[in-house]
């Protein structure tokens, strides 16, 4: 009661401020999601309501300002982190065309409008036009929800976003620096020198530092997260030192770190989770707190500015998508998707206009008009993207072949707790990103006198695996089984749970017992025809630069050929690494045919090598951080031969420190020993 009586507005108690903001973050996005409106709008409007121009519950104090600035840098960092540079380079012609058009048209039209019609200064017009020319992929999650991420225009849109936003942010850097002096010869010399210095530090020093860190601190998830955020702020500080806006530093830090942070990794999940739940909502709320909707009553001229701002912003982006569609012969629905995704203004627009407002280049009316533009453009973007994404998803569904294969279910066999994280991380790396099915951490306990005791021990190990999987935003269904031997336990579980892929750890050389009874792996291969991966991961998967694939002759004739090729491509996509296919020309031709149909962006090299010397030749090219993928074969299969049989036994001789994965493709064969198995 005393607390309520002593309350003054705006609230000054830090605990109450934080509690109020958390409840806003909890309630408003959920409410707007129910209304099928963008959550970003809910947070901005909440900021309008609680800010000094609303109910005056909160003010821009130091605490909120720190969270807000962190949220802005975080947002720009995530924008850079999401960009796949190789996909951009692969689609560079349409991407560059769309990027130039989606920047130039809004930039020129709005610049002329505000300079001549509204009589603003050249610098202010330059700032406003660069803000209008930028865009944020606010509606991009809709694309993922409808499963059309691989549509041909998606990479074009992402590439165009790189170009448009980078140019807009560079103009911001020039404008903010020129606000302190004249745009003379010395300014351009100084600006160019600072910018080159900034690029060298961000794209050379930070990647090398990151590579060293991930190599030496692999598995320390909390420390990895702190390191990444520290690099973001380091890049922002370097940018500020180089007289460039800190948000540009955060954006380029995302580009520099993107290849070291796989999209399905625990680290990526933590980065997105903390940013999207805490820092970015704080930033959006403080953006709303700057807005004063009462300016709408201040006169007809301001209404005219807002209407002109919205019209030129929306129509110019539509014309950019329309011209790109005509040049590259895209469909009308794809054009609408391009327009929908590129018409929203959010992060970069707010960042640019906030800098201009703080430098007194634009006044409060332009600031408020920009916020209204964000509200309107996000609504238009969300509705158009959703409509066009739904239509494209229906078309793609109708074009899909009727495949009779089982849904992907991955069994992760864990026998050694020390390599638990490596096996789990690898399973996430090969998992189909569109699959919602769980992963199955699994262990077999021998049926002996200590079975009950061992079940408890292994249950703790499986719970750790489940916990680690949850950090990657994946569901785990743990399985433990008591059986007379491990191979039988795996085979029974594969049948019972309709498993399609089995992942096992590499146990090294055979002992005397294995010579008589066969290794666990050999027995598993005899008892199940599903695809089996045997992995030995010795360094962080974040550091993979090259994937070398050793292929036996006629590998393309095996039933599981396409599946293992897709696995290799998926690992390459997740780790942004190059792929080298070593083998025979017939196999390479079949791989080329398949890759042409799946729109793969990363670099691929084909090298001819013969079985007897293949491992020896490849080993000379391997680095410690590389991944060697060996495509092996079951006994009596088409691609099986004596040279391929010996490769696993010669690994330690030729390849000691590199990461290794041996893949046994799927075989539809009734294996000896499986007929009498009862599940």
pLDDT at 549: 92
Q: How many CB atoms lie within 10 A of CB 478?
A: 20
Q: How far apart are CA 552 and CA 662, in angstroms?
A: 12
Q: How far apart are CA 206 and CA 571, in angstroms?
A: 24
pLDDT at 679: 27
Of the candidates 207, 229, 219, the one whose C-alpha atom is nearest the C-alpha of residue 274 is: 229
Q: Which residues of 73-96 are buried (b: 16+ CB within 10 A; e: fewer)?
A: bbbbbbbbbbbbebbbebbeebbb
Q: ω into residue 10 within 30 of 0, thus cis?
A: yes
The 10s digit of each residue's pLDDT in 246-287 is 877 888 898 888 888 877 777 888 888 888 888 888 888 887
Dihedral pair phi/psi, residue 322, rounded to 5°? -65, -45
φ/ψ region of 658 (left if φ > 0, alpha if ψ in -120 to 50, else beta) reads: beta
pLDDT at 29: 85
Q: By the 8 A CB rule, do 154 and 143 touch? A: yes
Helices (H), 343-438: 347-358, 364-399, 420-430
Q: How far apart are CA 439 and CA 432, in angstroms?
A: 11
Overall size of the chain counted in residues:
679
φ/ψ region of 554 (left if φ > 0, alpha if ψ in -120 to 50, else beta) reads: left
Q: How far apart are CA 650 and CA 643, in angstroms?
A: 10
Q: How far apart are CA 629 and CA 627, in angstroms?
A: 6
Q: By the 8 A CB rule, do 110 and 312 touch? A: yes
User: Taking the chain (679 residues) in consecutive chunks of 10 residues, what is each chunk's mean pLDDT?
Assistant: 61 85 90 78 85 83 78 80 70 87 94 88 89 82 70 79 82 76 73 86 88 78 87 90 80 85 79 85 81 71 86 94 93 92 81 81 82 82 85 74 65 80 84 80 74 68 76 78 80 88 75 48 84 85 86 86 89 86 90 82 83 80 86 82 74 78 78 36
Q: By the 8 A CB rule, do 429 and 570 touch? A: yes
Give Cα 180 to chain centroid, integer Å.
Answer: 38
Share of the chain above pLDDT 70, in %: 86
- What strand order describes the sheet that includes 604-608? 479-483, 439-446, 410-413, 501-505, 531-536, 659-664, 627-631, 546-550, 578-583, 604-608
Across all residues in the chain, what is the average pLDDT? 81
* List of domains in the chain: 2-396 (1.20.1530.20), 408-537 (3.40.50.620), 538-679 (3.40.50.620)
Of the candidates 377, 385, 241, 220, the one whose C-alpha atom is nearest the C-alpha of residue 313 is: 377
Vertex 198 angle, CA 197 and 201, to 5°: 85
On the 0-12 / 13-18 / 19+ scale of CB atoms within 10 A, 670 is: exposed
pLDDT at 74: 85
Q: How far apart are CA 358 and CA 176, in angstroms?
A: 10
Q: Are strands 531-536 and 501-505 parallel, antiparallel or unpaired?
A: parallel
Q: Structure tokens of 467?
A: 């916990």
Question: What is the pTM assigned to this prediction?
Answer: 0.71
pLDDT at 109: 93
Q: How far apart are CA 260 and CA 265, in angstroms?
A: 10
Percent of residues in the chain assigned helix, strand, coil, to nearest 5: 65, 10, 30
pLDDT at 4: 52
Going by C-beta distance under 8 Å and a sequence separation of 6 or more, which residues neighbour residue 547? 568, 571, 572, 575, 577, 578, 579, 580, 626, 627, 629
pLDDT at 314: 94
């Amino acid at each position: 009661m005393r607390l309520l009586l002593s309350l003054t507005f705006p609230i000054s108690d830090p605990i109450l401020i934080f509690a109020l903001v958390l409840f806003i973050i909890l309630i408003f996005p959920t409410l707007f999601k129910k209304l099928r409106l963008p959550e970003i709008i809910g947070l901005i409007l909440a900021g309008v309501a609680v800010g000094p121009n609303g109910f005056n519950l909160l003010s821009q104090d130091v605490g909120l300002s720190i969270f807000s600035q962190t949220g802005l840098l975080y947002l720009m960092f995530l924008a850079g982190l999401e960009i796949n540079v190789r996909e951009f380079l692969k689609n560079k012609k349409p991407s560059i065309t769309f990027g130039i058009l989606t920047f130039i048209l809004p930039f020129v039209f709005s610049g002329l409008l505000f300079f001549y019609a509204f009589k603003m200064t050249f610098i202010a017009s330059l700032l406003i036009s660069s803000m209008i020319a930028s865009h944020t992929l606010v509606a991009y999650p809709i694309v993922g929800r409808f499963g059309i991420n691989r549509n041909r225009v998606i990479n074009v849109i992402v590439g165009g976003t790189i170009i448009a936003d980078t140019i807009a942010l560079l103009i911001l850097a020039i404008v903010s620096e020129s606000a302190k002096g004249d745009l003379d010869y010395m300014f351009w010399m100084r600006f160019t020198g600072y910018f080159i210095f900034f690029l060298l530090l961000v794209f050379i020093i930070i990647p090398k530092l990151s590579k060293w860190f991930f190599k030496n601190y692999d598995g320390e998830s909390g420390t990895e997260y702190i390191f990444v955020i520290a690099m973001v702020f380091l890049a922002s500080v370097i940018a500020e030192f180089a007289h460039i806006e800190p948000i540009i530093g955060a954006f380029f830090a995302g580009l520099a770190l993107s290849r070291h942070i796989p999209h399905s990794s625990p680290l990526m999940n933590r980065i997105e989770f903390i940013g999207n739940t805490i820092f970015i909502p704080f930033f959006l709320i403080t953006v709303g707190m700057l807005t004063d909707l009462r300016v709408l009553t201040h006169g007809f001229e301001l209404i005219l500015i807002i209407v002109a701002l919205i019209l030129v912003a929306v129509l110019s982006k539509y014309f950019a998508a329309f011209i790109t569609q005509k040049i590259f012969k895209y469909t009308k629905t794809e054009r609408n998707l391009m327009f929908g995704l590129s018409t929203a203004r959010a992060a970069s627009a707010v960042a640019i206009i906030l800098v201009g407002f703080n430098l007194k280049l634009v006044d409060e009316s332009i600031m408020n008009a920009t916020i209204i533009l964000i509200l309107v453009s996000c609504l238009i973007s969300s509705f158009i993207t959703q409509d066009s994404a739904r239509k494209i998803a229906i078309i793609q569904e109708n074009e899909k072949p009727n495949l009779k294969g089982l849904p992907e279910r991955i069994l992760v066999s864990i026998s050694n707790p020390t390599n638990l994280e490596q096996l789990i991380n690898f399973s996430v790396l090969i998992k189909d990103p569109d699959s919602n099915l769980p992963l199955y951490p699994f262990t077999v306990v021998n049926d002996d006198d200590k079975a009950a005791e061992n079940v408890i021990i292994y249950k703790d190990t499986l719970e750790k695996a489940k916990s680690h999987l949850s950090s990657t935003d994946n569901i785990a269904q743990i399985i433990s089984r008591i059986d007379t031997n491990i191979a039988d336990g795996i085979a029974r579980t594969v049948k019972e749970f309709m498993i399609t892929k089995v992942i096992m750890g590499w146990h090294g050389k055979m002992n005397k017992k294995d010579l008589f009874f066969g290794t666990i792996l050999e027995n598993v291969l005899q008892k199940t025809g599903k695809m089996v991966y045997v992995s030995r991961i010795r360094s962080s998967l974040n550091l993979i630069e090259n994937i070398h694939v050793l292929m036996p002759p006629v590998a393309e004739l095996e039933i599981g050929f396409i599946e293992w090729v897709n696995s290799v491509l998926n690992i390459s996509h997740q780790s942004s690494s190059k792929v080298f296919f070593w083998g025979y020309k017939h196999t390479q031709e079949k791989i080329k045919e398949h890759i042409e149909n799946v729109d793969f962006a990363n670099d691929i090299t084909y090298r001819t090598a013969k079985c007897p010397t293949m491992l020896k030749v490849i080993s000379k090219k391997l680095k410690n951080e590389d991944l060697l993928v060996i495509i092996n074969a079951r006994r009596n299969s088409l691609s099986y031969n004596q040279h391929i049989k010996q490769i696993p036994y010669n690994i330690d001789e030729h390849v000691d420190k590199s990461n290794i994965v041996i893949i046994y493709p799927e075989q539809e064969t009734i294996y000896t020993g499986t007929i009498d198995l009862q599940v």
